[in-house]
Copies of this chain bind each other. A is one copy, B any other.
Amino acid sequence: MPDLERLNAHYQAMPPVAAMRIRATGFDGDCLRLHAPLDANLNDKGCAFGGSLAGLMTLGGWGLLTLKLEAAGLDAEVYVADSQLRYLKPLYADLMAEARLEPGTDWDNVLRTFRERGRARAVVQAVVRGPDGEPVADLGGRFALLRAP
């Protein structure tokens, strides 16, 4: 199964993620893109629910690392350890997120640490942009990568 299809099967197997209709739409090796329709993610004000923005960006980080570890031929479990979120403005459109490694990350070193110790950490940055391309929310998140049992 192609990577992205497998990742989406993974997402759809999680009931809250299926309910938010979150889907990975593209991965170029460095950036994972995700989409979720506004109607499944509305708050009481008719714009995107903060918890959905948080979930989408967290899953973006999780999916990015899962795909990058798979691409390196590694079987790992990925856990979010902590995150900082900013909600910058209301979003009245579908939710589109991008997730990338924190700039300056030495990914080869992350992989080396993982291979040697069976665990490593990585920091992801994710952003949701409005239709005009302006960020409406962003996330910085630290993830733990553990060798699959």
Contact = CB atoms under 8 A, between A and B. Distances in A.
Interface of A: 10, 13-17, 19-20, 39-45, 49-52, 54-56, 58-59, 62, 77, 79-87
Contacts of A44: 10, 13-14
A95 B99 CA distance: 27
A93 to B, nearest CB: 16
Given A19-B19, A44-B13, A50 B85 contact: no
A16 B41 contact: yes
A81 B17 CA distance: 23
Contacts of A10: 44
Contacts of A15: 19, 39-42
Contacts of A13: 44
Contacts of A87: 79-82
A83 B82 contact: no
B54 A51 contact: yes
A50 B80 contact: yes
A49 B86 contact: no
A39 B15 CA distance: 8
A45 B10 CA distance: 10
Nearest to A9: B44
Nearest to A22: B51
A17 B51 contact: yes
Contacts of A17: 49, 51
Nearest to A51: B55
